[in-house]
A and B are shown apart, each in its own frame.
Chain A
């Protein structure tokens, strides 16, 4: 149980998808206008990561490996994540005013989901490890999205130098967040 929790915490912080693996950085930059929107998109992506990650795990373990079609792995993973993310996104109860914006990140959310699912595949894989990695990645993505959105609201009121306004400063914020999270490096190896 403690190991399970340690993997979740380490995956969410020290191995964070956005801060450490730089997969969801585009989503953090473009989808953090408001905390509410970030929460909605973060939850959607989180659910998509966990559901499609588990689906991929079972298909990979019990269909592809058993039948010997391991060569088709990547193709199947792309299909599964798309098949799960598309309907989830279409029926996600998002905030009314951000509805049109929420449609936009379809592809972005997909790369995040796909990348994270690929990252969570371990050899040899166990179901607990996979669940811990997926939940950790989902929580880490949601947390960074929320933090970046709230910091963004704060810095829009500040007199930020013109050259750094918007994207550049957000990249600095993400960099400093990664610096802070690196303090948790090595948590799983020592526990």
Chain B
């Protein structure tokens, strides 16, 4: 394996390691279903990767480890009681469609994990709401994932996430304060431990120089700014920036998705525009569109703009001269 490829797969390994605290937190809250989906996603990604490499090259080429990361990231987003085929579908689409159709690792335009997840949101909207209620046994989780749950039992097994609750509450013309204080909203957000598990992973990646600070910081600032402006305009309808940052996928995406070196913008200014664009779009989609959480769509939209952003932020000097300047 050449040095660049081995450096890349070491980085991928660090990112997988950094998601461990969050996966552990998610398992402790939502039960064994999280681990089942993790296994399903990683296995499906690896099999797809293997099949695609075989189809494209015939001769044995080393399997790219980024498929493990893609599987891990999808598993972090999928609800713990979703049926098994949801994870498999997202993994196959992520590796096959978003990565190999575009020329394989390093050439993909759209983030594979978010492509898979966004497809799930569109194709299996009902399955994507199956977050377990508080007391769900391991036996029930596994039965739910492999399709042995009677139709009438879902109501007792699943509970609405805070973003879904916020949306349906606003739909019933309730005031924001009322929605956030009644119901078990506090238990449904990320909570202190969930936030800590994501931030710990993110700090680890920053410490190991795997990710650059510009991307997560600009994403979070963009989201906080947009949520702040909206809630200043109409505090009864739009939740505060703190609520938005501590629920759903924004924090997770800021550290683990936006920072993907292949699909993110390359240079400083373009990076800031890319990150803050995701933050702003994610909040706009959450508050104004038909989906409770829009991070995946926001990431894909900004992914599409990356080639243009890179083009606009191209250095005026040729790269060799610029490097000589730095030295």
Give residues in A with beta carbon < 8 Å to B. Answer: 14, 35, 146-147, 150-151, 153-155, 157-161, 164, 169, 172-173, 176-177, 179-187, 190-191
Contact = CB atoms under 8 A, between A and B. Distances in A.
B307 A169 contact: no
A153 B190 CA distance: 40
The secondary structure that dominates the B interface is helix
Contacts, number: 101
B308 A150 contact: yes
A158 B103 contact: yes
Nearest to A191: B288
A81 to B, nearest CB: 29
Given A147-B305, A151-B109, A183 B101 contact: no
Contacts of B39: none
B291 A154 contact: no
Nearest to B296: A183
Nearest to B109: A151
Interface of B: 55-56, 97-98, 100-104, 107, 109-110, 115, 118-119, 122, 281, 284-285, 288-291, 294, 296-298, 300-301, 303-305, 307-308, 311
Contact of B308 (A35, A161, A180): A35
Contacts of B288: 184, 186-187, 190-191
B297 A183 contact: yes
Given A179-B115, A183-B285, A184-B285, 15 more contacts: A35-B311, A147-B305, A151-B304, A154-B109, A155-B102, A160-B101, A161-B55, A179-B300, A180-B304, A183-B281, A183-B301, A184-B297, A185-B290, A187-B284, A190-B289
B53 to A, nearest CB: 11
| Nearest 3 CB-CB pairings of A with B | A183-B297, A158-B103, A186-B290
Nearest to A181: B301
Contacts of B118: 179-180, 183
B307 A151 contact: yes
Contacts of A35: 308, 311
A179 B93 CA distance: 13
A34 to B, nearest CB: 11
Contact of A172 (B101, B104, B284): B101
Contacts of B307: 147, 150-151, 153-154
A183 B107 contact: no
Contact of B289 (A147, A159, A186): A186
Nearest to B285: A183
B119 to A, nearest CB: 7
Contacts of A160: 101-103, 107
Nearest to B282: A183
Contacts of B300: 176-177, 179-180, 183
A169 B285 contact: no
Contacts of A191: 288
A161 B285 contact: no
Contacts of A164: 101
B297 A155 contact: no
Contacts of A180: 110, 118, 297, 300-301, 303-304
A159 B103 contact: yes
A182 B102 contact: no
B109 A155 contact: yes
Nearest to B300: A180
A176 B98 contact: yes
Contact of A146 (B97, B284, B308): B308
